[in-house]
Structure formats: C-alpha cells, structure tokens
C-alpha cells in the first residue's frame, strides 16, 4: 500500500509536478529506457500495484469475471469491483489505449500468451490440459504464419 501524506498539494503545484513527470517519462526512447525510468521512480510494490491495475482494467474489458480476476492477480474482489465501477461504460483515455491494443494483433497475441500462462493450470484443474494444448497449437500456428 502506498503511504501518502494527509497534507494536500495545491492545484497549481500539482499541475507543475504532473508536467515534470510527463517530461521525464517522455524522454524514454524505447521500452528498456522506459522501464529503467519506472524502476528509478517507483518502488517494486508500486510497480506491481500499477501493473495489476492495468491488468484488471484489461481483463474487465475482455469480459473476465471479477472473482477470476481477483483470484489470479492476487487482488481483492473489492479492488476489481472498484475498477469495474470506475470504468463502467466510460470512454477514458486509458480505455481507448487498451482498446487500440486489443485491436493490434501482435499485442493481442502477447496478452493472450500472458493470460494463458496465468489462467491455465494443467494438472490442477480438470480440462486445463486441453486448454493448454489448444493454446500451444494456436501459438505454433501463429509462428508458422509469421515465418
């Protein structure tokens, strides 16, 4: 959990701080430099918190139910419900970006592989071996098309 002071920063200072944050993050040339900047700015728990929030929003947009999201991302159902309510039928900039990512085929395959690794547990649940092999078959088919 992030500990913040109870003293509020006035709006003008907050705008300047956000501008500074934008300028710093905008200096990243590629993914590695962006991740390096993020690691310098955010502690590991903060990085995990931000990543989980983005994953929750992504999974909600994909139509995954709250209990499944909470279970596999090790979050509370209340956190998942909070983000569900925050973004329910809203067209925010973040929702637009995630929507674009969902339409991008290569990114979509990346997320499919990532969430297959999270959700499919062969040997632990009945039917997961079939899901595992189906996913591996789709990966192999994609690789054959790419080459």
Question: What pLDDT shows up at residue 64?
Answer: 84
Q: Burial code of 36-45, b = ≥16 C-beta within 10 A, e = fewer?
A: eeeeeeeeee
Q: What is the mean pLDDT of the chain?
A: 80
- Cα separation, 96 vs 53, whole angstroms: 16
Count Cβ atoms below 10 Å from residue 61 Cβ, excluding itself.
14
Question: What pLDDT shows up at residue 125?
Answer: 61
pLDDT range class, residue 122, cuts 50, 70, 90: low
| Maximum pairwise Cα distance, the chain | 57
Grouping H, G, I as helix, E, B as strand and the rest as coil, residue 23 is: helix
Q: What is the pLDDT of residues 63-115, one digit of tens each?
A: 888 998 888 888 999 999 998 888 776 778 887 887 777 776 666 677 677 66
pTM (2 d.p.): 0.64
pLDDT for residue 9 is more than 70: yes
Classify residue 89 as left (phi > 0), alpha (psi -120 to 50) or beta: left
Q: Where are the domains of the chain?
A: 9-41, 43-90, 104-147
């Amino acid at each position: 959990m992030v500990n913040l002071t109870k003293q509020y920063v006035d709006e003008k200072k907050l705008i300047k701080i956000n501008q500074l944050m934008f300028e710093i993050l905008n200096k990243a040339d590629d993914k590695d430099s962006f991740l390096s900047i993020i690691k310098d700015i955010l502690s590991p728990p903060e990085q995990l918190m931000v990543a989980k929030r983005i994953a929750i929003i992504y999974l909600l947009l994909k139509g995954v139910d709250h209990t499944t999201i909470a279970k596999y991302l090790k979050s509370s159902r209340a956190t998942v419900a909070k983000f569900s309510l925050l973004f329910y039928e809203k067209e925010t900039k973040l929702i637009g970006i995630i929507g674009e990512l969902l339409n991008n085929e290569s990114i979509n395959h990346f997320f499919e592989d990532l969430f297959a690794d999270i959700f499919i547990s062969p040997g632990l649940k009945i039917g997961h071996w079939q899901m595992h092999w189906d996913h591996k078959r789709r990966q192999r088919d994609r690789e054959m098309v790419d080459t």
